Structure 1
Amino acid sequence: MIFTFPIKNNKDFLKLYKKGKFFVAKYLVLYVLSNNSNVNRLGITVSKKFGKSVKRNRIKRLIKESYRHFESQLKQGFDLVFVARSCEEMPNFSEVKKEMKYLLRKLEVFKEDI
C-alpha cells in the first residue's frame, strides 16, 4: 500500500525550498528532499499570480491526479513540492502528466527507469 501524506506546515515548505534539489520545466517546478522515513509527503503551491481561484484549483487538481498516476512507481522517503508556474495558457492533463514524469525522472525519484 502506498502512503503519501500532505505537507501543511510553512516551515516544511521553507526547508524544502532552502535545502532541497529542484528542477524547472515549462509549467511546473519540483523540489525534492529526503525525509528519512518510509512515506512520501506531497505539497502543491500555486501563486495568486497564476489566476483566480478557479484556475488555481484546476491546476492543483491536475497536479494531484498526475501524481496519483505515478505514486506507485516512486521511491519512498521523499518530500515533494510542486510549484505551478504562471503562464499564458492553462496546461491540459496530458501536458502536466508528461512534465511531471520528466521532472521525477530528472530528480531520480522513480524506483526503476520508466
Structure 2
Amino acid sequence: MKKAYRVKKESEFQQVFQEGTSFANRRFVVYRIDKPEQKHFRVGISVGKKIGNAVARNAVKRKIRASLFELKERIEPELDFIVIARPKTEELSSKEILSNLVHVLKLAKIIE
C-alpha cells in the first residue's frame, strides 16, 4: 500500500482516536473518522507488544496490509481509519485475518 494511503503522524492517530467512533470484534478494533475533502481513504495499523516479538508483530501487519489491499476497491473513500490488532491475532492465518477484518469493517460501515 502506498504511503499516501497511510495515517503516519501521531497527531493524525490522536485525531482519529479522539474524534472518531470505534467498532470491534474479537480480533480487531477499528476507529473511523470522516474526512470529506480526501480523494481516497487512509489507514493506520497498530499492533501492540502483547501480540509477540517484533517478527510476529510485523507478520501480523503484513497480513493486515495484504487483506486491506484485497479490499481496496470496496473501501469507502473520504475517511481515515485505524486498525488495532488484539492479542492472539498472530495465531490466525491470512484467510482468517481477512474474514475478521471484513466483519469489523462492515460493522464500521467502511465496506458494504
Change (3 A) 1:89 1:73: closer
Aligned ranges 1:1-114 → 2 under 5 Å: 5-36=5-36, 37-87=38-88, 90-110=91-111, 113=112
Change (3 A) 1:71 1:88: closer
**Cα contact 1:4–1:42 (8 A) shared by 2:** no
Q: CA RMSD in A?
A: 1.7
Q: TM-score, normalization: structure 2? A: 0.89
Q: TM-score, normalization: structure 1? A: 0.87
**Cα contact 2:27–2:89 (8 A) shared by 1:** no
Matches of 2:80 and 2:110 in 1, distance apart? 11
Any gaps of 5 or more consecutive residues in structure 2?
none
Q: Cα distance, 1:87 vs. partner?
A: 2.2
**Cα contact 2:51–2:88 (8 A) shared by 1:** yes
Between the two proteins, what is the percent identity of the paired residues?
A: 24
SS at match of 2:71: helix
**Cα contact 1:62–1:96 (8 A) shared by 2:** yes
Q: Cα distance, 1:106 vs. partner?
A: 1.0
- Name the amino acid aligned to 1:25: N
Q: Cα distance, 1:89 vs. partner?
A: 5.9
Structure 1 runs, 4 residues or longer, greater than 6 Å off? none
**1:42-94 deviations in Å (ceiling 9; x for gaps):** 11011112110010001000100110111101211010110011128611111
